[in-house]
Structure 1
């Protein structure tokens, strides 16, 4: 599964929502909450202090491992508080599946890539079937779901390479099974156990179809593309006789060459490759150990949540999860007045204010923002909240967009690494229907390193670059989210944009971008 499938389109079943509310309000779930912060993560964990700290260390070690494998500095440059992935750990896999609006699906976690606020939800424990029934207990295997999704986050954050769907998912599966040793080393190449049955019993996806982005895969082939994508990625990365071919294929794809044409040119006889991969899945699977030089255990800052935070965390999670209009009103109602009750708590003001923004209660949101600014006049998040109040009012009074801008400017001044003030400042002109000044466009471009993991930001950048006539740059920005799958089942408008750019037809590319934003606007009004 992939979090970049954005959960908006998931079915909103009334029973699922009711179950979610029951889970969040359950007295049995009233355990202590801990916040564990590392260089790249903030973990909110309903668990023991030791468990929260251990999980945060594991995540940070994973980021370090990815950097080591890519030849990048460890631990890397400072990314800022806003860009750390916020991981919410609570309940078990059943609870998370309900929270994902997919009860009974077995979903063990999901990730939402939002610039300035990337979030993930995973269980604190997993339901384990035993001979005596169902019991609960800690299972670190839960981590593989999050590591899979974080690989997507990491690759989009650091590279502009476009990968085909099978490789995007295959490499995420490959890295999600990285095994860490006590001496600081790690092993790459373990088999994802959850894919074992599919690997053994389901048929392979024909490579002539997997490499053909114009082909429509059946439902079974789509499902199997994850498992077979892992197998093919594993083989092409580790098999000595195929060394260098995968890199050559990806370079060809990014230069605009047709996927199937490039595959036949670089890999040769695809039937022969298919037979090699079939033999390879019988094992043994190759792999290797990596020992980073000068390994240092990741540092973790740990604290227990305040009483105000513990009182609001479950409502805040619902808000962070994403809400439709009805859910937004429900969350705002449940959090209403809590900012006044916890008038000395900055998180309470910010969390309540965000919920009121979602519910379009602009006056209540502004009251929370003003309290936040009184508590901390140097809080970038508080200025950002105040700006969002005026952006909301701008939907009915366009003059309000101009009132948002000073708050965005102040927020950006206070936190240069948070991309949201720059994006908001830019959007204040776009949504007002005013000419966009050069400083606003420059600000939007400047936050690319901090926002590139967010597909929505990439779409904004692509549209602006196309408006400026910079087709080649626009292609590099949109391509990584365009090569997401095969044509046929669902229209892939980002890929149509890429094709129009390749054909030198920027007017058509702009028209396709307009369709993308119109569709998103229509969905946002539901």
Structure 2
């Protein structure tokens, strides 16, 4: 039940589906489900690569490998389809050169990458290996953010969040199970060579709004600084001390001056460091075990609906929702034994606000698979949507969410849905629903929307410190936007013990979200 604002999705669907029947495979590992429009061997290799990257992150961060079972709902779904032009269009940025993108959503995190190079021939067309390498780096970078928010509650400054993801995102995985850490991201290296520095005294200052060339270069300087502080023996221990100071509430610029010393001296060291050579580590985990990949060929009905499923998972605005609903109309009744068909149709019709059609498909899904948590969650979603016009419908959603939760204790969606059924109804929220909302943390902490919901509830309970802990890791945003960083403003009000102001500020965030969902333009 995703939403998105942007052009190009309907066009992308035409090019992705194509005239010829594609070969589709599902490749599942401990942390990923890959839907790949490719040969079986190619899909399997790609899924194994992603799982190996997760294992490398776990090894480097001292986490157990392969990690605890997070449940199927919490695996990242990667759609590997079309070519690079299709992916850019699907992202809402045609001809932008985007090689992939990622959307973190509780219980439904997705990523979209190309399965092949551009179809046309000519100057500027890159080889498939080059495209796959860039796709890999995009996914590795974004998954690093996902991994860190899932496993750690530290509030990182934006330059380090991005710089850290770049340092780790260039990991080179080798066939023997080893990997190399420390490679230079080529785009950053070129920017460092040709663009002027961003001043560290400005980059460390969260009150400064960087714009234009200075903002663009801050990403490269952020990578360089992250690399230097992680690998430099002379400055060993300074980075953890700085991050710890931030999490204790110290001003970023003052903490930087205290811990790093003369920032002009650090800047001079970076200027020298960017000329290389860049140190790195070759790492061979002990007792390496190759990830297990379970392969399954998609059924014909799944292949026929994959284009629509991709559009729904990408997220749709109201016009796009109606297009997808029209494309899948009747496919549930025509495939009465397919759980996949029922769920795809239910979601598409729900997005298009065709609630009766969505309910009919959800009922078919439950009849086919009474133990399907997602089918029960979808039914709850139908009544939640109806609740916008009739608040009595919120109560009708609760039994479906409760059943969905019983069937899958690790899916955060019914946990959040149950809580929201009380909140949206304006009713007193029972203790059990509050506990369930908090329990979703283990499976949804990477989702900004969930963190905002939880923080709002904590603020309503006058638990300011807990609300700050929830918001701080997502409070630092890029310096370049002219819009107020309302999450950071909320945190600052909490630090000043102005909880009424914090509640008012977070209310503004939710109102903006409602306005955007309704298609209103905000100034």
> 2:57 aligns to what?
66
Q: Distance in 2 between matches of 1:173 and 1:263?
A: 21
**What is the CA-CA distance between 1:342 and the residue it aligns to?**
1.2
> 2:212 aligns to what?
219
> 2:440 aligns to what?
447
Matches within 5 A, 1:417-436: 417-436=410-429
Q: Find the partner of 2:384 among 367, 385, 391.
A: 391
Q: Distance in 2 between matches of 1:181 and 1:24?
A: 32
Matched, 1:202 2:175: no
Matches within 5 A, 1:271-310: 271-310=264-303
**What is the CA-CA distance between 1:203 and the residue it aligns to?**
1.2
Matches within 5 A, 1:55-204: 55-127=46-118, 134=125, 137-138=128-129, 139-141=131-133, 142-204=135-197
TM-score, with length taken from structure 1: 0.95
> 1:264 aligns to what?
257
Q: 1:150 to 1:220 in 2, by over 3 A?
A: same
> 1:405 aligns to what?
398
Matched, 1:231 2:230: no
Q: Which moves more between the two structures, 117-126 or 218-227?
A: 218-227
1:215 partner SS: coil
**What is the CA-CA distance between 1:133 and the residue it aligns to?**
6.3
Q: 1:47 to 1:521 in 2, by over 3 A?
A: same
Q: Which moves more between the two structures, 290-299 or 219-228?
A: 219-228
Please, which runs of 5 or more residues in structure 2 have no aligned partner?
none
Number of aligned positions between the proteins: 516
CA contact (8 A) 2:107 2:444 kept: yes
CA contact (8 A) 1:127 1:136 kept: no
**What is the CA-CA distance between 1:410 and the residue it aligns to?**
0.6
Q: Distance in 1 between matches of 2:480 and 2:211?
A: 11
Matched, 1:23 2:23: no
Q: Distance in 1 between matches of 2:165 and 2:433?
A: 35
Q: 1:472 to 1:20 in 2, by over 3 A?
A: same
CA contact (8 A) 1:214 1:488 kept: no
Q: Distance in 2 between matches of 1:128 and 1:313?
A: 20
Q: 1:503 to 1:384 in 2, by over 3 A?
A: same
1:169 partner SS: helix
1:111 partner SS: strand
Q: Distance in 1 between matches of 2:182 and 2:96?
A: 27
Q: Distance in 2 between matches of 1:87 and 1:219?
A: 33
TM-score, with length taken from structure 2: 0.96
Q: 1:397 to 1:207 in 2, by over 3 A?
A: same
Q: Distance in 2 between matches of 1:278 and 1:434?
A: 59
Matched, 1:499 2:492: yes
Q: Distance in 1 between matches of 2:166 and 2:111?
A: 17
Q: Distance in 2 between matches of 1:281 and 1:135?
A: 27
**What is the CA-CA distance between 1:132 and the residue it aligns to?**
6.2
1:241 partner SS: coil
> 1:376 aligns to what?
369
**What is the CA-CA distance between 1:22 and the residue it aligns to?**
2.8
CA contact (8 A) 1:40 1:60 kept: yes
Please, which runs of 5 or more residues in structure 1 have no aligned partner?
1-5
Q: 1:190 to 1:411 in 2, by over 3 A?
A: same
Q: 1:256 to 1:385 in 2, by over 3 A?
A: same
> 1:463 aligns to what?
456
**What is the CA-CA distance between 1:226 and the residue it aligns to?**
1.6
**What is the CA-CA distance between 1:134 and the residue it aligns to?**
3.4
CA contact (8 A) 2:211 2:479 kept: no
1:187 partner SS: strand
**What is the CA-CA distance between 1:181 and the residue it aligns to?**
1.6
CA contact (8 A) 1:110 1:122 kept: yes
Q: Distance in 2 between matches of 1:330 and 1:206?
A: 48
Q: Distance in 2 between matches of 1:377 and 1:309?
A: 20
Matched, 1:243 2:236: yes
Q: 1:494 to 1:70 in 2, by over 3 A?
A: same
Q: 1:255 to 1:133 in 2, by over 3 A?
A: closer
Q: 1:392 to 1:132 in 2, by over 3 A?
A: closer
Matched, 1:438 2:431: yes
**What is the CA-CA distance between 1:24 and the residue it aligns to?**
2.9
